[in-house]
Amino acid sequence: MSQKVKFINTNKSTFFATTRGKVEAYLKEKEISKNANKSMWAKAIFFVVGFFSLYLLILSGWFGTWAMLGLTVVLGAFAAFIGFNVCHDAIHGSFSKKSGVNKGLSYLFYLIGANPYLWNISHNIVHHTYTNIPGHDEDIEVAPGLIRLDESEEVNKIQRYQHLYAFGLYGLASLSWVLRKDYVKFFQGKIGQHSTQHPKREYFNLFFYKILHYFIFIGIPMLVLDLAWWQAGIGFLVMHLAEGLVMGLVFQLAHVVEGTDFPVPNEEGNVEEAWAEHQMRTTANFAPKSAITEFFLGGLNRQIEHHLFPKVCHIHYPAIAAIVRQTAEEFNLPYIESPTFSSALLSHYRMLRKFGKEAYQVQTSRVMERHALEVNN
């Protein structure tokens, strides 16, 4: 990570300027604000009210054990949906033109166990700049040693089976986030190429809101429902497993499917194309015609539009998608898209197999060939 990466073809490509001009002209012609509209606010209210309603139903004690666990699973899914539909846009500054509104909505991230300040650095700054670049984009470092998504990394024996166990590991994403990941990122020297010199208030925010999260989802259920610590712990675990599985699957389908690139900078640290063209080669959409997917995933199924226009609220992505696709075709750039959620899942499965089992077979064959040559010589 010490190597500094630069996109050196920026001044030679007019793709992004052309696309941005067309999108801005479209929004102006249709008199569409780039921020949230009434439908977006309705979505946000639906998920926030739904989340708190589920939480209160669990605390009511009206249901049996299995029904309570079922509600906890749905609560975890709603936590992910709040992250997708509200916090993601708010932290990007695209939900509202008022920074105070965006900041207020971003605080919902604390509610679901994550830290918006660290997310802004690792996602908005690092991931959106160095998408799919091994050693720089920490979003593709899912579980080092267990999941391999870097062709330059040697394949170990365990990773031969990553296509079988990876989906289970994705369920741990939220638990890792709430119990480990934020703490590690906060105190490591750098996140990607971004130096981590934090304001003093962020030290308070990190620990205060983590403790508050633990109290809300472990302490209060113990007090209100008279649960043993291990019973409350099971509920906390189930909630975060559901949240993590939803998050992990959605994040991977945006960048780790067939057709996406994992470019390696040259010895000088240069990526020999413009940033926007890099985004087109490393990012993918899925289920573009599914209204259900669009509603629940907060535009994360349209990652191409999101990576090019993170300051535009996701509610407008379907409208500008045709413009982006057409312009990409004009510039002979890929527009990677899976027609359905299931087809994207299968594509991701094949990528895991390619980086794991198939890569291990190639690596083993090369080792055997070298050994045979040494013996013959």
pLDDT at 66 over 80: yes
* Averaged pLDDT score across all residues of the chain: 89
Domain ranges of the chain: 6-376
- Which of 174-188, 312-326, 338-352 comes out lowest in average pLDDT? 174-188
CB 149 within 8 A of CB 140: yes
The DSSP result for 45-67, as a single string, is: HHHHHHHHHHHHHHHHT-S-HHH
**Could you tell me which residues come within 8 angstroms of residue 329 by beta carbon, excluding any fewer than 6 positions away?**
335
CA 179 to CA 209: how far, in whole Å? 12
How far apart CA 299 and CA 324 sit, in angstroms, is: 15
> How many Å apart are CA 329 and CA 15, to the nearest integer?
10
Instruction: State the pLDDT at residue 188.
Output: 83
Confidence of residue 139 (pLDDT cuts 50, 70, 90): confident
Residue-level pLDDT at 249: 86
User: What digits encode the pLDDT tens for the residues 100-125?
Assistant: 999 999 999 999 999 999 999 888 88
CA 121 from chain centre, in angstroms, equals 13
Backbone φ and ψ for 5, nearest 5 degrees, come out as: -95, 135
**Is 26 within 8 Å of 303 (Cβ atoms)?**
no
Distance CA 327, CA 276 (A): 12
pLDDT, tens digit, 9 for 90 and up, residues 21-33: 999 999 999 999 9
Q: What's residue 1's pLDDT? A: 45
Q: Is residue 195's pLDDT more than 80?
A: no
Predicted confidence at residue 19, as pLDDT, reads: 94
Per-residue pLDDT band at 319 (split at 50, 70, 90): very high
140 contacts 134 by C-beta, under 8 angstroms: yes
User: Distance (Å, rounded) from C-alpha 333 to C-alpha 281?
Assistant: 8
CA distance 372 to 259: 35
DSSP letter string, 169-228:
HHTTHHHHIIIIIHHHHHHSSEETTEE----HHHHHHHHHHHHHHHIIIIIHHHHHHT--
What gap in Å lies between CA 123 and CA 117, rounded to an integer? 10
Other Cβ atoms closer than 10 A to 275: 19
Q: Which of 12-16, 116-120, 249-253, 348-352 shows the lowest mean pLDDT across its residues?
A: 12-16
Residue 282 pLDDT > 80: yes
